[in-house]
Amino acid sequence: MRYVSTRGGMKEASFSEAVMTGLAPDGGLIVPGRVPDVSGKLETWSSLSYRDLALEILKEFTDLREPALKALIDKSYSVFAAPEVTPVRKVGCMHVLELFHGPTLSFKDIALQFLGNLFELVLTSSGGRINILGATSGDTGSAAIYGVRGKRNLSIFMMHPKGRISETQERQMTTVLDDNVMNIALEGTFDDCQKVAKTLFRDLGFKRRFALSAVNSINWVRIVCQVVYYFYAAFRVMERSGRERVRFSVPTGNFGDIFAGFMAGRMGLPIERLVLATNENDILARFFNTGRYERGSVKSTISPAMDIQVASNFERYLYYREGEDAGRVRDMMTEFEQSGVLETADGAVENFITAGTAGTGEALDVIRDIYRSENYVVDPHTAVGIAVGRTQASADIPLICLATAHPAKFAESVSKATNGYTPRHPSLDRLADLPGRCAVLPASVSAVREFIKGNAGGDA
Ligand SMILES: *Cc1c(COP(=O)(O)O)cnc(C)c1O
C-alpha cells in the first residue's frame, strides 16, 4: 500500500514512512492511495478473534511481513484486561462497544499500544532514535506514555498544564517511572503547552537535532487500529441480532474515532449510518447539519476529551467527500486557515453521517437513566454518544454505542449523576500509593528546550 497527502503535494510514501511522518510535508494528512475493498472477505472474517481480525485488516494497509505484524498485534493486545479486547455488551435495546479495557482505560490505548510497539520495531531496524513531544489535557498523554514506556530508542516528553487536569489523569502519567518517560507540568494553561510544542516543532534545527516526533491523532496508524473494532463489533451484533446492517454512535472530538468508522464503511463493512455526537463544542454537528464549518471558542465540559473546536482529522473526511480531489481540499483548507470558515459547494449534507449535540444536562441524565434501568455505568463521553444515538434510533437497525472511557476515570461526574455511586477500577485505586516523578517548568519555550537538551536520550 502506498500513501498520499490529502493536499496532493507529497511523493508517494510507504507505510513505515507514513507512520514516521505524521503530518504530510505539504500540511495535509496522510491517506492510503486506494481504499481496499474487503466486501468479499466479510464472511470469512466474521468468525475471527479480535487479534486475527486485526492481522487481516492491518495486512491490507501495511508492508510489514506477516510474522512481524502478528508479533506486534500479540504484544499490543495481550495487555488488555478483556480477552476479547473490545467486548460488545447488550444494554437495554442497544449494544455498547467497550473500548476501555487497555492500560489507561480509554479507547486511545487501542491505537497507542500498537503505535508504541511499531515505533520500536521501525527504529530498531533503521537504527534511528526519536524524542516524542506532546501536550495533553487528559487521555492522550497517559495512553501515549503507556504506549512507549520502557521502549528502546525512544523517549517521550509529555507536557500538561500544572494543576489543571484531573488528579486521576495526572497520577496516571506521573507514576510512570521508566527512564524514557519525562512528564512536564507547565505553569500555564493547555494552550500554553500547545504553543510551546508548536514553537519547538517549527524550530527545524532543533527538531532535526533531537529527532522530535509526535503521536497525535493525525497519525495514520491510529486510524487503522481503530478500524478493527468497527468490524469486530459489527460482526458480533449482526450474529446476535440476525440483521445485515448496523448503525454506530460515536462521541466525537478530533474526528479520529469516527473517521475509522467511515473508513470501515468504505472498505465494505455494512454500516447503515454513523451518528456523530458532540458535546457543547459542536462545530462538527453544525457542519453535518448545515454544510458550514466554522471555528468557535472552546467550552469546558464534563467530557473534556471532546472539548475541541477544530477537529484535526476532519480533513481526511473532506478528502473523500470531495471525491479524492486533493487540489480542491488544498483550496478549501487554505481558505479555512485564513477565514475560519469552510463551506461545501453543495451545502449540507450527506446521509451516511448524521450528527447531533448533547449538553452536560443530557449526558448526566443518560448516566442516571442507564444506571437505574440497566444497572450499567457509562462515563460522560460515552453518555454524549448514547444521548444522541437514542434520538436517532430505528426499530430495524441495531445501534452500537462506542464506550470510549471507563467510568472510573470520570468518577466525580458519574457520582453526581447517580446521586452517590462512585465507580472504581483497581488500576486507578493503586495509583494513590505509588511514587511519582514530574518536572515543573515555567511556561516558556526556552525552559522546555533546555529540559529536552538535558534529558534527551542517545547522543544528540
Ligand atoms: C479522545 C477521546 C474522545 C474523542 O475521540 P476523537 O477521535 O478525538 O473524536 C472521546 N472520548 C474519550 C474518552 C476520549 O479520550
CB distance 289 to 264 below 8 Å:
no
| Ligand 1, atom 4: closest residue by C-alpha | 253
Which whole-number Å values give the CA distances from 378 to 170, 217, 246, 250, 278, in the listed order?
21, 24, 21, 14, 16
Q: List residues bridging with 277 in a β-sheet.
A: 251, 356
- CA of 92 from ligand 1 middle (Å) equals 24
Q: Give the ligand 1 atom nearest the CA of 382.
A: 11
- Return the pLDDT at 364: 98
Q: List, for residues 58-78, the tens digit of each pLDDT value.
A: 999 998 999 999 999 999 999
Residues with CB under 6 A from ligand 1: 106, 108, 139, 217, 251-257, 305-306, 381, 404-405
Which of 284, 381, 410 for a ligand 1 pocket mutation test, highest count of atoms within 8 Å of Cβ?
Answer: 381
Which of 96, 101, 252, 257 for a ligand 1 pocket mutation test, highest count of atoms within 8 Å of Cβ?
Answer: 257
Q: Give the ligand 1 atom nearest the CA of 312.
A: 8
Give the pLDDT band of residue 139 (cuts 50, 70, 90). confident
Question: Does pLDDT of 459 surpass 70?
Answer: no
Over residues 180-186, mean pLDDT: 97
Report d(CA 409, CA 155) in Å as an integer.
Answer: 26
Give the pLDDT band of residue 302 (cuts 50, 70, 90). very high
- CA of 254 from ligand 1 middle (Å) equals 7
Q: Is 108 a catalytic residue?
A: yes
Q: Give the ligand 1 atom nearest the CA of 254.
A: 8
- Return the pLDDT at 458: 58
Which of 106, 168, 224, 227 for a ligand 1 pocket mutation test, highest count of atoms within 8 Å of Cβ?
Answer: 106
- CA of 272 from ligand 1 middle (Å) equals 22
- Return the pLDDT at 392: 87
Residue 183: name the closest of 174, 191, 175 by CA: 174
- Return the pLDDT at 143: 96
Over residues 80-84, mean pLDDT: 97
CA-based torsion, 180, 185, 186, 188: positive or negative = positive
Report d(CA 325, CA 2) in Å as an integer.
Answer: 17
Question: Does pLDDT of 348 surpass 70?
Answer: no
- Predicted TM-score (pTM) of the model is 0.96
Over residues 309-321, mean pLDDT: 91
Report d(CA 449, CA 214) in Å as an integer.
Answer: 16
Q: Give the ligand 1 atom nearest the CA of 258.
A: 9
SS3 track for 323-349: CCCHHHHHHHHHHHHHHCEEECCCCCC
CA-based torsion, 9, 11, 15, 16: positive or negative = negative
Q: Rounded to an integer, what is the distance from CA 236 to the centroid of its chain?
A: 22
Question: Does pLDDT of 3 surpass 70?
Answer: yes
| Ligand 1, atom 1: closest residue by C-alpha | 305
- CA of 252 from ligand 1 middle (Å) equals 6
Cell of 2: 502506498
CB distance 104 to 175 below 8 Å:
no
Q: List residues bridging with 159 in a β-sheet.
A: 135, 184
Which of 107, 169, 287, 310 for a ligand 1 pocket mutation test, highest count of atoms within 8 Å of Cβ?
Answer: 107
Question: Does pLDDT of 189 surpass 70?
Answer: yes
- Return the pLDDT at 368: 98
Q: Give the ligand 1 atom nearest the CA of 381.
A: 11
Q: List residues bridging with 96 in a β-sheet.
A: 89, 401
Over residues 278-291, mean pLDDT: 93
Over residues 85-101, mean pLDDT: 97
- CA of 69 from ligand 1 middle (Å) equals 26
Measured from the Cβ of residue 337, the count of other Cβ atoms closer than 10 Å reads 11
SS3 track for the chain: CCEEECCCCCCCECHHHHHHHCCCCCCCCEEECCCCCCHHHHHHHCCCCHHHHHHHHHHHHCCCCHHHHHHHHHHHHCCCCCCCCCCEEEECCEEEEECCCCCCCECHHHHHHHHHHHHHHHHHHHCCCEEEEEECCCHHHHHHHHHHCCCCCEEEEEEEECCCCCHHHHHHHHCCCCCCEEEEEEECCHHHHHHHHHHHHHCHHHHHHCCEECCCCCCHHHHHHHHHHHHHHHHHHHHHHCCCCEEEEEECCCCHHHHHHHHHHHHCCCEEEEEEEECCCCHHHHHHHHCEEECCCCCCCCCHHHCCCCCCCHHHHHHHHCCCCHHHHHHHHHHHHHHCEEECCCCCCCCCEEEEECCHHHHHHHHHHHHHHHCCCCCHHHHHHHHHHHHCCCCCCCEEEEECECHHHHHHHHHHHHCCCCCCCHHHHHHHHCCCCCEEEECCHHHHHHHHHHHCCCCC
CB distance 63 to 33 below 8 Å:
no
Question: Does pLDDT of 347 surpass 60?
Answer: no
Report d(CA 291, CA 347) in Å as an integer.
Answer: 5
Which is catalytic among the residues 11, 108, 151, 207? Answer: 108
Q: Give the ligand 1 atom nearest the CA of 251.
A: 10
| Ligand 1, atom 14: closest residue by C-alpha | 305
Give the pLDDT band of residue 138 (cuts 50, 70, 90). confident
CA-based torsion, 61, 31, 24, 133: positive or negative = negative
Report d(CA 246, CA 364) in Å as an integer.
Answer: 26
- CA of 232 from ligand 1 middle (Å) equals 19
Residues in the chain: 460
Q: List, for residues 243-253, the tens digit of each pLDDT value.
A: 999 999 999 99
Cell of 250: 460515536
Over residues 182-200, mean pLDDT: 91
- Return the pLDDT at 455: 94
Phi, psi of 177 (to 5 degrees): -105, 5
Question: Does pLDDT of 460 surpass 50?
Answer: no
Cell of 212: 522530535
- CA of 106 from ligand 1 middle (Å) equals 8
